[in-house]
A and B are shown apart, each in its own frame.
Chain A
Amino acid sequence: MRRFIFLAPVLVFVGLVVYFATPLLRGTDPSIIPSPLIDKPVPAFDLPPLPGYQKGLSSADLKGRVQIVNIFASWCVPCRAEAPALMALKQMDIPIRGIDQKDRPEDALEYLKELGDPYVSIGMDIDRKVSIDWGAYGAPETFIVDAEGRIRYKQAAPITQDDIDDTILPLLKKLTAQ
């Protein structure tokens, strides 16, 4: 027993390496905060439309079918990065609802003209109140809401094609089948 005591620091070291390497190798992003709203109903809200648009967005719109809710803003640079991925989802006839966070309406209209409008409808969250009710802490953030209006998934990072193929499409398929 005494003879092997020198192994103790080595074991501690190996333990620390495993502990720190696991999230690194898995690609876990420590800046992403787990949401307590998963599997909870969407918060009650009713947001007005952008000028010139017919429909805004309210919690009532999020019932009846599986949908994606995407928080975006014209000032948000990563939102631009994910814009093509959202357009690709639109091409697949997947309904995406937009929450335009803390934006000037004219800036938002310009943004949609430039990058395309993948949204079924958009609500203007000018003072961020609704974003806060969704537990958002920036933009972009993307949620998947099931047909009963419950939040089933959240991604607090720009969507990539890999996210669509590996996470979003399989989950949409599973939720639609339910």
Chain B
Amino acid sequence: MRAALAVLFLALSLSGSAIAVEPDEMLKDPAQEARAEAIGRQLRCPVCKTESIEESDADFTKDLRKVVREQIAAGKTDSQVLDFMHDRYGDFILLRPPFNSTTWALWLAPPALLVLGGIFAFFMTRRRPTTVDAEPLTPAEQAAVEALK
């Protein structure tokens, strides 16, 4: 059981950092390659939806990575490369989408829910007194206690 858990943990921790970039795709200049990777991690794979283009094995995504690397090698800035992808694929391609008329609910829902939950919790905890005073003993009970002493 413990071994199985360890294997599972290892598998999960490995999959978290999986990179699909193959050595022959990489730029020769390590600084440029690092920039390309950082950009690629911000771009969502349009084929597989839940991965960044750096993590995806899809054939199409490989060509997107290639475009990113070509543009970096050609001297484009990070934001120029991101804009290039955003112009073609829209907000979807950005793993951190901009705040606008279609994404406002996405951005505002977590803080809004936190505030609502906080208000709810505040009133729920205040309504209920934390300690309840015990009813005083009746004379008969008092007498019974005295008798025990």
* Residues of chain A having any CB pair with chain B under 8 Å: 31, 33-37, 102, 127-129, 132-135, 137-138
Contacts and interface: CB of A to CB of B under 8 A. Distances in A.
B47 A138 contact: yes
B89 interface: yes
Q: Counting chain A CB atoms within 10 Å of each CB, which of B47, B49, B63 scores highest?
A: B63
A14 B63 CA distance: 44
A128 B92 contact: no
Given A36-B90, A127-B63, 9 more contacts: A33-B92, A128-B60, A129-B67, A132-B67, A133-B88, A134-B88, A137-B46, A138-B47, A138-B60
A78 to B, nearest CB: 13
Interface of A is mostly: loop
B43 to A, nearest CB: 12
Contacts of A135: 88-90
Contact of B89 (A31, A36, A127, A129): A36
A33 B90 contact: yes
B61 to A, nearest CB: 9
A35 B63 contact: no
B111 to A, nearest CB: 19
Nearest to A37: B88
* Most B Cβ at <10 Å: residue of A37, A132, A135, A137: A137
A132 B63 CA distance: 9
A137 B88 CA distance: 10
A127 B64 CA distance: 10
A138 B89 CA distance: 12
A134 B90 CA distance: 12
A33 B60 contact: no
A69 B49 CA distance: 25
Nearest to B102: A34
A129 B46 CA distance: 15
Residue among B46, B49, B59, B86 with most chain A CB within 10 A: B46
28 contacts: A31-B49, A33-B46, A33-B89, A33-B90, A33-B92, A34-B90, A34-B92, A35-B89, A35-B90, A36-B87, A36-B88, A36-B89, A36-B90, A37-B88, A127-B63, A127-B66, A128-B63, A129-B67, A132-B64, A132-B67, A132-B88, A133-B88, A134-B88, A135-B89, A135-B90, A137-B46, A137-B47, A138-B60
Contacts of A36: 86-91
